[in-house]
Structure 1
Amino acid sequence: MRISTSGSHLSALSMMQQLQSAIDRTQQQLSTGRRLLSPADDPIAAARTVEMRESLSRLDQFDRNGEVARNRLNYEETALVSVNDALQRIRELAIQGNNDTQSPQSRSLIAAELRERVDQLVQIANQRDGSGRYLFAGNRDSTAPVSRQGNAFAYAGDQGQRLIQIGADRQIPDGDSGAAIFFQIKDGNGTFSSSAANGNTGTGVVSVNSVMDQSQYDRDSYTVRFTASDSYDVLDSGGAIVSSNSFASGDSIAFSGIRFTIDGAPAAGDEFNIEPSRNVDMFSNVLNLANILEQPVSSDAERAGLHNGVNAALQNLDQAIDNILTVRTQVGTRLSAIDSQVDSNASFRLNLETSISGIEELDYAEAISRLSIQATTLEAAQQSFIRTQGLSLFNFL
């Protein structure tokens, strides 16, 4: 096969240019520390790194979301602690006011503090987070959730919960509705409530009540009517007599799976009402307690009315405190879930970064060795070209 001199020169120059280009690429890799200088170097690997970097970006967004949720939940936790402290103080005042040694003046002072506590609770319910959004308004977080018109309280928010994405498959609520915290508190013991009728003339006071068998309680309304100081009838909501029995102070009255105790001496005709628990709001309960303590107490019957009213308010307070503790537990669980998810995201991020590093980062030892071989090869090619380019048949004529 004949090879022209110009063809030989061009072929040699092309080969040396390829070797020089390979050296330049290796030098760029060494200076940048990257194995892939462009997607063309390894299209499949480049596509994988793009996907993994997108995953890293999503993880960063999840962590930012988690931080937003954590900050808002911390605000809520602080507010709930304040609510709990206020309710505990209100409970102390209720017990203090229920003491027979209190004078009308001292009860009036207690009632005045209770009214201040109502204003405090409304203020807490209308607290905002760090970005100016109302904590307990649900999704309507630009509207103050609790308003007061005289002795009535209204909720202007909704019962929605904003879910924030903190992981690929995990969302978490960043708050709670004020309706569930402040307005949907079951009165009585949470199943039924017991109260004395306003017209009672005896000294009967409802104390302990409980559910013995939930399956037997039919959620009907009942009236315990004393036919004499030592006997009573139990009537259902239709007026039918369910049971009749004798009575002595401190006896437990039981029927339909429930039980409650009456202390003191009810008079003939006195009635005690048993009704299924219904939702009451925290603010009205405290305000009603203040009103009860301001009522005049000049007879044994009025004193019994005071004790019945305060006892009912105390039960409602205990329900409110339990509700706050339940919500605080939920908030704590969410905060723990955020921490757990952040740790999980960090582990996933480390795996992704390690994978990206294995694909993109340069093996310096291999690159330096390759550069040495490429330089030696180029030098040999150049020397060979120098020696062959001067060869000619005319040198031997």
Structure 2
Amino acid sequence: MRLSTYNIFNTATNQLGTLQSALARTQMQLSTDRRILTPADDPVASARALEVSQSKEMNSQFATNRQSARSSLAQVELSLKNAGDLMQDMHTIAVNAGNGSMLPADRLALATELEGRLTDLLGVANTTDGAGGYLFSGYKATTEPFTRTATGASYNGDQGQRQLQVGASRKIPLSAAGSAVFEAIPTGNGTFQTQASGANTGSGVISSGSVTDRSQYLAHNYSIAFTVGGTPETTTYTVTDNSTIPPTVSPPATYEEGKQIAFGGMAFDIKGKPANGDSFTVEPSEKQSVFTTVTDLISALRKPAGTAKEVAELTNSLNEAMDNLKSAHDNVLTVQASVGAHLKELDYLDSAGDDLNIQYAATLSDLQDLDTVKAISEFQQQQTTLQAAQLSFKTMSGLSLFNYIG
């Protein structure tokens, strides 16, 4: 068989190029420590590696989001703590104002102190997040949540809760709506509220009471009317259920100062001496702003308290304010506990995210990483093969009849 010189050189060049390309590819694998250099090397593994890489990047973004959420929630938690401390301080002032030895000037001083606390509380409610947004304005991040009014403060935000995706299937609220923190405060004991009529002339003081039998509580509106007369003089009262048609009036009962009055699953007491025609109301709790509560308390402290009637009005106002402030503080603590639960959940999600990163890294390693020992051995074998091919080609290409013609 005859082989032309052209064929010999062409075939040898192609073979040497193939061997050199294989050697270069192995060298590239060793330098990058990657088994797959192009998708063509392993299409299935390349597609799977792309999916895992995307999941790993998303997991990293969730970790960044969790850090942002933790920073925002830490600010909210600090603001709620400050608000709770202010409410507790105002509750203490209300308790001190009930001291019978207080002079009018002392109560005025307490009212002035409460004015300062109210301003501080309004400042906490209008806390910003450091980036131009307000913590407690809902979705209206650039709107100042509360504006001071004559009766307390008005809410300018909405009921929304800004959220951030912190996991594949989890969103965390970054704050709470200001209305839920500072406005939706149940009055009285949280179930019902007791109040004295503003037209009372006696010294009767009503307690906040409590629910004694939940199964009998009907959430009706009641009024308690007092009658004083007779010889000897006696004080009686009747209870009217104004929620029925027609209103239901109970038989008269003899009033005994401090004795428990119970009906409709509720119980409370009235102290002092109600005058003829005095009345009290018992109604379901309503929602009231803490700013309204403090404003009403300031007004009560600035009223005169020289007569028995005025002292009773002040005492009833103080009792009502203390109940409402306690409810407001409890509400802030509830929201604060929710924020703490979210922070704890972020810690759990961080731990789960770290585990996922390890899993993704291991999967990518299995799909992409190079078996270094095997690659070095293959590189040396390819290098030896290439050198042998180059040497043999040199020897073969040097053969000629002219070398043997003398």
Shorter-chain TM-score tier = over 0.9
CA drift of 1:258 comes to 1.2
Q: CA RMSD for the aligned pairs?
A: 2.1
Change (3 A) 1:360 1:143: same
Q: Which residue identity does 1:367 align to in structure 2?
A: A
In structure 2, what is the equivalent of residue 227 of structure 1?
227
Give the match's secondary structure for 1:21. Answer: helix
Give the match's secondary structure for 2:55. Answer: helix
Q: Which residue identity does 1:144 align to in structure 2?
A: E
Change (3 A) 1:11 1:242: farther
CA drift of 1:3 comes to 5.5
Percent identical across equivalent pairs?
Answer: 41
Task: Say if 2:189 and 2:208, in contact at 8 Å, map to a contact too.
Answer: no
In structure 1, what is the equivalent of residue 70 of structure 2?
70
Please say if 1:22 is aligned against 2:15: no
Q: Which residue identity does 1:101 align to in structure 2?
A: S
Superposition pairs for residues 140-219 of structure 1, below 5 Å? 140-219=140-219
CA drift of 1:245 comes to 2.7
Please say if 1:359 is aligned against 2:364: no
In structure 1, what is the equivalent of residue 357 of structure 2?
349
Task: Say if 1:111 and 1:293, in contact at 8 Å, map to a contact too.
Answer: yes
Q: Residues 77-128 of structure 1, C-alpha deviation per residue, up to 9 Å, x if partnerless?
A: 1111111111111111101001111011101100111111111111111110
Residue range with higher mean Cα deviation, 185-194 or 385-394:
385-394
Task: Say if 2:16 and 2:386, in contact at 8 Å, map to a contact too.
Answer: yes
> Normalization by structure 1: what TM-score?
0.94
Task: Say if 2:240 and 2:248, in contact at 8 Å, map to a contact too.
Answer: yes
**Inter-partner Cα distance in structure 1 for 2:135 and 2:314:** 36
In structure 2, what is the equivalent of residue 250 of structure 1?
258
In structure 2, what is the equivalent of residue 236 of structure 1?
241
**Inter-partner Cα distance in structure 2 for 1:149 and 1:249:** 39
In structure 1, what is the equivalent of residue 329 of structure 2?
321
In structure 1, what is the equivalent of residue 279 of structure 2?
271
Please say if 1:303 is aligned against 2:311: yes
Q: Which residue identity does 2:291 align to in structure 1?
A: F
Task: Say if 2:182 and 2:289, in contact at 8 Å, map to a contact too.
Answer: yes
User: Unaligned 5+ residue runs, structure 1?
Assistant: none
**Inter-partner Cα distance in structure 2 for 1:359 and 1:243:** 87
In structure 1, what is the equivalent of residue 87 of structure 2?
87
Residue range with higher mean Cα deviation, 156-165 or 237-246:
237-246
Residue range with higher mean Cα deviation, 292-301 or 129-138:
292-301
Give the match's secondary structure for 1:215. Answer: coil
Task: Say if 1:203 and 1:304, in contact at 8 Å, map to a contact too.
Answer: yes
**Inter-partner Cα distance in structure 2 for 1:84 and 1:98:** 22
CA drift of 1:383 comes to 3.8
Residue range with higher mean Cα deviation, 185-194 or 21-30:
21-30
> Normalization by structure 2: what TM-score?
0.92
Give the match's secondary structure for 2:346. Answer: helix
Give the match's secondary structure for 2:253. Answer: strand
**Inter-partner Cα distance in structure 1 for 2:270 and 2:314:** 15
Match of 1:370 among 356, 374, 378: 378
Q: Residues 170-197 of structure 1, C-alpha deviation per residue, up to 9 Å, x if partnerless?
A: 0011000001111111100111100111
**Inter-partner Cα distance in structure 2 for 1:2 and 1:305:** 127
Please say if 1:261 is aligned against 2:294: no
User: Unaligned 5+ residue runs, structure 2?
Assistant: 229-233
Residue range with higher mean Cα deviation, 372-381 or 134-143:
372-381
**Inter-partner Cα distance in structure 2 for 1:324 and 1:126:** 15
In structure 2, what is the equivalent of residue 336 of structure 1?
344
**Inter-partner Cα distance in structure 2 for 1:243 and 1:391:** 136
Change (3 A) 1:365 1:78: same
In structure 2, what is the equivalent of residue 290 of structure 1?
298
**Inter-partner Cα distance in structure 2 for 1:248 and 1:150:** 40
Please say if 1:380 is aligned against 2:381: no
Equivalent pairs counted in the alignment come to 397
CA drift of 1:260 comes to 1.1
Q: Which residue identity does 1:132 align to in structure 2?
A: G
Task: Say if 2:199 and 2:278, in contact at 8 Å, map to a contact too.
Answer: yes
CA drift of 1:338 comes to 1.6
**Inter-partner Cα distance in structure 2 for 1:262 and 1:200:** 13
Task: Say if 2:145 and 2:155, in contact at 8 Å, map to a contact too.
Answer: yes
